[in-house]
Amino acid sequence: MAGKAQSRTDLWVGFMAAANVAQMAEIGVFKGQFAATMLKECPSISRYYMIDPWQHLQDWNKPANKDNEVFEAYLAETKARTDFAAAKRVILRGRTLDVIDEIPDGSLDFAYVDGDHTLRGIVIDLMRVYPKVRIGGWIGGDDFGANIWQHGRKFEPSLVFPFALYFAEAVGARIYALPNSQFLFQKPSRQNPAFIDLTGRYSDTSLRSQFLPEKAPR
């Protein structure tokens, strides 16, 4: 399935169908394109939690951190895109720490993490969404990039990789590196940690080499 997908949306639409996902959450909704596609193409979905602050954050050093007026427009765009599925969506406006407990523990079949991608952000997102996913449910995400300098040295590094890998190991899960810089792991009923790289891009899972002066972009 992963090898045949032409884009990340194709990949996840196929996954949703195979996993028969009914309840899911997306952390980091932006303009709602991903949510709209999932709600349109995946008839099994009955509840879709949409988590995003949609506001300027003083402590988030990433290029997507726009003015509040821009984020208000993004929220309006998200609502317009997903109005056709208003009965299924639950908009939770706020940072993960502020709104995640609106979701019952153990209720999600799938959580998709596409938040702020800094070390702080991915730690909070994975640790707080994990209890919301049922045993046997799945957690996936975006920007699982082998190079942490996604936006250059001017901005905080993106540490979805390798933190998601380390997190999966800590909870005893098998984690998959997928095409289009995606990752996926299943919440295990027993410890069985492993890293399955389906892309061949992640031979070095350490951080030391990426922080060497000659490797960090200017």
Residue 6 banded pLDDT, cuts 50, 70, 90: confident
What structural domains and CATH numbers belong to the chain? Answer: 2-211 (3.40.50.150)
Give 17-60 pLDDT, tens digit per residue.
999 999 999 999 999 999 999 999 999 999 999 999 999 999 98
pLDDT at 69 over 90: yes
**Helix, strand, or coil here: 100?**
helix
Average pLDDT, the chain: 94
pLDDT at 161 over 70: yes
Tally of CB atoms within 10 A around 28: 22
Spatial CA neighbour of 178 closest among 16, 28, 12: 12
* pTM for this entry: 0.95
